C-alpha cells in the first residue's frame, strides 16, 4: 500500500477539517495550541509534501528552501502576506488561500464595529457594569447616528462589496476607492460612487478598510490621510494592521482630528500599542473577523481540499494565488 503524502499542520483547526486531513494524509499536527515557532516549522518541514499554515506563521525563504519535497503551501486565511510567495513561485510550489467563505462573516463584524464605535457600546457596557448608571439622562453616552450617513470603503473586493450591501439597509451613501474604477453598470448595481482616496477620506463619516497588505498599502492611512478626514469621522479596520500607522492614529484621536476608531487588526500583532488600550473612543477586538463556527469550519475544509487537489489528485487547486507556476510548467 502506497504511503500517504506527509503534511505538516502548524496549529489545530476545526475538527471537520482535521478529519479530512487525517483520512488523506500522514498528518503531523502541532501538539500545542499555540503558534508554532519559526525554527520548529523549519525543522519539521524537511520531509513534508504539504504545509497547512496560518496567518500567524512566517513562511519565508528559509522555510521553503528547507523543504525539498514540498509541493503545496495551503494558508488558512484569505490574506497570504505571511508567505514568501515569490520564493514559492520560483520553486514552482502553489500557494493557496481560503477566500469567499469568510466574506459575509467579516462583513458582519465590520458593521458590528461601525455600530459599536458609533453608539459607544463597549464604553456604555463598562459604565453600567461599574455601577455608574443612575438612571436615564439627556446627554448620557451620546454617540453618532449611522443611518443616512456616508460610508467610505477603501478596497472594493468581496468583503468591501458585502459591507456595501449591508450599508443599503441603513440608507447610507456608499463611496468606494480601489486601484481601478468599476464600470458604471456595476456601480449602479452596487449603488456606490467612486472617489479617489483623498476624496473619500474628506467626505466619509465612516471609513472602512478592506485592502490587502502590500508595499502600496503599508501605512496607507497615516498623518496626511488623518488630516483629510472629518473631525466627526470614524476609522474601521478589519483588513491588516500595518495599513494604518498606529502612532499617527493615536495622534489623530488625541488631537481630535477624528472622533474614534474600531480595530480588529493591529500593526504589530499580537502586540497592541499601549496607548490604544486606554483610549475611550476606540473599540478593539482580537482579530476575529472570520470568527464564526460556520466560517472557520469552511476555511478548514477548504485548506484540506486544496491539499487534496495537489497531493492526491495531482490537479490545480481552486484557490491558488500564484497560478503562473502552471504556465511556467506547461512552457518548460
Q: Is 38 considered catalytic here? A: no
Of 44, 210, 240, 296, the catalytic one is 240
Q: Is 24 considered catalytic here? A: no
Q: Give residues with Cβ within 8 angstroms of 163, minimum separation 6.
A: 107, 110, 111, 151, 153, 208, 210
User: Is the bond preceding 250 in cis, omega lying within 30 degrees of 0?
Assistant: no
CA 87-242-198 angle, to 5 degrees, is: 115
Tell me the three state secondary structure of residue 302. Answer: helix
The strand pairing partners of 173, in sequence order, are 150
**Helix ranges, the chain (H):** 15-24, 38-44, 61-64, 85-90, 103-118, 121-129, 158-168, 184-190, 197-203, 223-228, 246-254, 274-277, 293-311, 324-331
Cα–Cα distance measured from residue 181 to residue 60, given in angstroms and rounded to the nearest whole number: 34
Tell me the three state secondary structure of residue 151. Answer: strand
Say if strands 150-154 and 282-284 run parallel, antiparallel, or are unpaired. Answer: unpaired
Going across the sheet that includes 282-284, the strands are 192-194, 173-177, 150-154, 206-209, 234-237, 260-263, 282-284
97 within 8 A of 78, measured Cβ to Cβ: yes
Which of these, 285, 298, 221, 290, lies nearest to 257 by C-alpha position?
Answer: 221
Cα–Cα distance measured from residue 67 to residue 59, given in angstroms and rounded to the nearest whole number: 11
Q: Is 210 considered catalytic here? A: no
Going across the sheet that includes 6-9, the strands are 26-29, 6-9, 50-54, 72-76, 95-96
The residues annotated as belonging to the active site are: 240, 269, 287
Amino acid at each position: 500500500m502506497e504511503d500517504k503524502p506527509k503534511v505538516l499542520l502548524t496549529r489545530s483547526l476545526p475538527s471537520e477539517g482535521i478529519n479530512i486531513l487525517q483520512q488523506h494524509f500522514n498528518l503531523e499536527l502541532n501538539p500545542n495550541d499555540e503558534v508554532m515557532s519559526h525554527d520548529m516549522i523549519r525543522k519539521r518541514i524537511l520531509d513534508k509534501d504539504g504545509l497547512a499554515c496560518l496567518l500567524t506563521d512566517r513562511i519565508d525563504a528559509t522555510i521553503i528552501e528547507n523543504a525539498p519535497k514540498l509541493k503545496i503551501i495551503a494558508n488558512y486565511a484569505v490574506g497570504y502576506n505571511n508567505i514568501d510567495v515569490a520564493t514559492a513561485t520560483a520553486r514552482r510550489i502553489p500557494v493557496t488561500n481560503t477566500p469567499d467563505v469568510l466574506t459575509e462573516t467579516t462583513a458582519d463584524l465590520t458593521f458590528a464595529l461601525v455600530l459599536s464605535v458609533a453608539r459607544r457600546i463597549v464604553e456604555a457596557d463598562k459604565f453600567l457594569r461599574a455601577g455608574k448608571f443612575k438612571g436615564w439622562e439627556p446627554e448620557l453616552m451620546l454617540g453618532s447616528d449611522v443611518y443616512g450617513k456616508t460610508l467610505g470603503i477603501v478596497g472594493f473586493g468581496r468583503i468591501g462589496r458585502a459591507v456595501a450591501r449591508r450599508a443599503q439597509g441603513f440608507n447610507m451613501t456608499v463611496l468606494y476607492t480601489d486601484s481601478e474604477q468599476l464600470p458604471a453598470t456595476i456601480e449602479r448595481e452596487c449603488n456606490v460612487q467612486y472617489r479617489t482616496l483623498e476624496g473619500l477620506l474628506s467626505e466619509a463619516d465612516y471609513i472602512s478598510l478592506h485592502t490587502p497588505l502590500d508595499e502600496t498599502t503599508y501605512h496607507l492611512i497615516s498623518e496626511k490621510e488623518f488630516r483629510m478626514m472629518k473631525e466627526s469621522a470614524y476609522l474601521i479596520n478589519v483588513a491588516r494592521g500595518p495599513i494604518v500607522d498606529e502612532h499617527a492614529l493615536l495622534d489623530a484621536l488625541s488631537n481630535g482630528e477624528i472622533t474614534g476608531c474600531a480595530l480588529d487588526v493591529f500593526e504589530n500583532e499580537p502586540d497592541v500599542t499601549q496607548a490604544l488600550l486606554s483610549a475611550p473612543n476606540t473599540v478593539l477586538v482580537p482579530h476575529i473577523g472570520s470568527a464564526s463556527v460556520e466560517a472557520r469550519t469552511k476555511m478548514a475544509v477548504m485548506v484540506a481540499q486544496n491539499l487534496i487537489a495537489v497531493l492526491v489528485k495531482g490537479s490545480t487547486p481552486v484557490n491558488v494565488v500564484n497560478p503562473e507556476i502552471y504556465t511556467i510548467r506547461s512552457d518548460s
